[in-house]
Amino acid sequence: MFVDYRRSTYDDYTYPVWADVLGWFFTLVSVMAIPLFMLYLLQKETEGDNLLEKLRLLSLPTVYWGPALQKHRTLVTYVDGFQVDPSKGLKPLRRRQPESALPTGIQIFNDLRSIKGNNRIGQDWRHF
């Protein structure tokens, strides 16, 4: 690659040096994002004792890996420890708001109607 490197050309036109530098910069930035993110994840991982264990843990799929539909997840018999319903036993990451605090579809519809001042907006809202 670098041994027989020649400046970029198109027919008889030779691109300026800054264009080659810009192209190499974009290439290196996009390629270097992968190992830099890997190093970040390795540093952030807390479970492994050494670098190889951390790398092995980061290479394993999550419990959500696999078919999306539960009826298809029940057919997986070839993976040891595969969880058919990965949400069982997991706690939510954050506390949900009580249902009364969430606006209902009718409240949102009435708010939009009052903002627009037009009673015809969303007349068929029940169909959605």
The set of residues, in sequence order, having a beta carbon less than 8 Å from that of 121 and lying 6+ positions away, is: 112, 113
Q: Provide the phi-psi class of 11: left if phi over 0, else alpha when psi is between -120 and 50, else beta.
A: left
Looking at residue 5, what is its pLDDT? 83
Q: Is the separation of the CB atoms in 70 and 86 below 8 Å? A: no
Q: What separation in angstroms does the CA of 17 have from each of 29, 31, 57, 107, 117?
A: 18, 21, 44, 61, 60
Looking at residue 102, what is its pLDDT? 54
Counting as low any pLDDT under 70, the low residues of the chain are: 1-2, 89-128
Pair of tokens at residue 90: 């997991």
Q: pLDDT tens across 89-121, in order?
A: 555 555 555 555 555 555 655 555 555 444 444
Q: Is the separation of the CB atoms in 45 and 58 below 8 Å? A: yes
Looking at residue 66, what is its pLDDT? 79
Question: What does the alpha-carbon distance between residue 123 and residue 26 come to, in Å, rounded to a whole number?
Answer: 51
Looking at residue 45, what is its pLDDT? 87
The owner of tokens 């209902």 is 104
